[in-house]
Structure 1
Amino acid sequence: MAIDFHDPGNRGTYAGREASADWRDAVAGIVDPAGLRVADIGCGGGIYAAAWASLGAAAVVGVDFSAAMVEAAAEANRGRPNLAFRQGEAARTGLPAASADIVFARALIHHLADRAACFREAWRVLAPGGLCLVQDRTPADIALPGSPEHLRGYFFEVFPRLAAVEQGRRPDGATVERELAAAGFTGIRATTLWETRRRHDSAAALAADLRGRTGRSILHELSDPELDALIRHILDRLPADAPIVERDRWTLWWGRK
């Protein structure tokens, strides 16, 4: 069963870690957020909203449709005056027009039935000259094989039905570019990013993380016995007694208003 983002029991699913240095470097190569206003749409537990603030953004507002996620994000960032969180939809954020210099959406668009409405809302929220930055996986990102660094590939190797779920809900790069252009964005560009998700000190630590299904909504499609089988498959392919650096490949798209 897919994750219920509104369930208070899942409120910490997308919190409790920090954005990686490779994500920060990639973003810094696209835009300098120092002194700018950022709207993080689909902010989840606030991991990346906090990262934008740490990169020097003057003000960051995170928007998520889940009250539980918004509450978790606010708690995790209590006492940071340049960070705020509110409940809202991707196509109806409730933010004022022209109130942001950067609109960011990570791991959001594959959940949306109407991406065009989300991009039109980003256009509305952005000030003239503002940047829309979207991060998600494409079918090409998903198709990469499993390896000790790319553990996600093993998910689909063991359970091809998970690959079918992912392929069915992830737009290809050209489609996203067309939809951004249709919303009015110009100078659209795209690149790929290998983002470190987490460093696991041991195979046992990785197994515990996978069993917790933290931040991996696709694994909510598996039963507990299936999840155990996947963990065994992965551990059999990892070097013994060595730290594990888990990385995922993403695509980044951006364009200007």
Structure 2
Amino acid sequence: MSSLPQASNRDLRDEIRDYWSDRAATFDDSPGHRITDGAERAAWEALFRRHLGPGEGRALLDLASGTGEISRLCQGLGFSVTGLDWSEPMLARARVKLPGVSFLQADAERTMLPAASMDVIVTRHLVWTLVDPPAAFAEWRRVLKPGGQLLLVDGDFVTPGWITRLVRRLRPETSLTPDRRRHADILSRVYFSQGARADHIARLLADAGFRDIRIDTRLGAIHRAQAASFGLKRSLLRRTEHRYAICARAPLTD
């Protein structure tokens, strides 16, 4: 008797959650993930103040909060922070780091939070992983109060800059590590598999009803502050990538 293949309820979102769960133990060890004290923290604070203004106790949702680095930054800026992440191992580390912050386990595309419950939503390096950005942006608009603010920081991690193209030509990669193969497989199947460009995201945000959408590529202070951790080669590669912040507002009325 031949056996039928077993059906699986796992989908791409589960694979993304498991990938980051497996990286949780060493996540803060990677340059660009942990925000170091001093110049880097000051540069991130300046970016967030530029777009969000003073915290003043406003309710802020940190989507895909990971180990809590952006949550810690926003708490220091005076926001009342809630972190949300799909990975329990990431959340476990965030709760140790920030015992006074509420961290919830949920999918950033399906938060299950009450409507109009947040003044501000922030994300860092989440949008490029989204399976369904139009649905996610509609969900974020639902969760924001009328006139609430959205700030996302992201980049096109697919399209190589000119320095990357030159390095690959001079020293082509012959093989990928298992972790990088896993990352590449996931990246090939997400919505932004061809690269998360700022203008594309801005159009999707407008389609979801967001207003006052602005693209900010002035991230040089952050990149300069990270240079010591990255080293010269990686720092130069990062500066040629398409990285940006996008801020927007939920409409005052539907």
Global fold match (TM > 0.5): yes
Q: Which moved more, 1:11-20 or 1:104-113?
A: 11-20
* Correspondence for 1:98 among 103, 108, 116: 116
* Correspondence for 1:42 among 51, 57, 64: 64
After superposing on structure 2, the runs of 4+ consecutive aligned residues of structure 1 that deviate more than 4 Å are: 139-142, 153-162, 244-249
Identity of aligned residues (%): 27
The gaps in structure 2 that reach 5 residues or longer are: 1-15
Cα distance in 2, alignment partners of residues 256 and 126 from structure 1: 9
Deviations 1:73-117 (A, max 9, x none): 111112x3xx21111101211222111111111100111111111
> Residue 82 of structure 2 aligns to a residue in which SS?
strand
> Residue 14 of structure 1 aligns to a residue in which SS?
helix
What is the identity, as a one-letter code, of the residue corresponding to 1:67?
A: E
> Residue 5 of structure 1 aligns to a residue in which SS?
helix
* Correspondence for 1:14 among 27, 32, 39: 27
Cα distance in 2, alignment partners of residues 142 and 181 from structure 1: 27
* Correspondence for 2:77 among 55, 70, 74: 55
What is the identity, as a one-letter code, of the residue corresponding to 1:15?
A: D
Paired residues for 1:126-205 under 5 Å: 126-138=144-156, 142-143=160-161, 145=163, 158=171, 168-192=193-217, 193-194=219-220, 195-196=222-223, 198=226, 200=228
The number of residue pairs the alignment matches comes to 207
Are residue 70 (structure 1) and residue 70 (structure 2) matched? no
CA shift, 1:118, in A, is 1.3
The gaps in structure 1 that reach 5 residues or longer are: 147-152, 207-233, 239-243
Q: Is the 8 A contact 2:109 2:130 kept in 1?
A: no
CA shift, 1:14, in A, is 3.3
Looking at secondary structure, tell me which structure has more helix per residue: 2
TM-score (norm 1): 0.68
Deviations 1:213-239 (A, max 9, x none): xxxxxxxxxxxxxxxxxxxxx77x69x
CA shift, 1:13, in A, is 3.5
CA shift, 1:24, in A, is 1.3
Looking at secondary structure, tell me which structure has more strand per residue: 1
Question: Which residue number corresponds to residue 24 of structure 1?
Answer: 45
Cα distance in 2, alignment partners of residues 188 and 13 from structure 1: 35
Q: Is the 8 A contact 1:15 1:46 kept in 2?
A: no
Q: Give the direction of change, closer, same or farther, for the CA distance of 1:98–1:75 in structure 2 (3 Å limit).
A: same
Cα distance in 1, alignment partners of residues 103 and 216 from structure 2: 29
Q: CA RMSD in A?
A: 3.4
CA shift, 1:145, in A, is 2.5
Q: Give the direction of change, closer, same or farther, for the CA distance of 1:104–1:246 in structure 2 (3 Å limit).
A: same
Deviations 1:12-59 (A, max 9, x none): 3333633622121111111114221110111111100110010111x1
Paired residues for 1:213-252 under 5 Å: 250-252=243-245
TM-score (norm 2): 0.69
* Correspondence for 2:248 among 240, 243, 255: 255
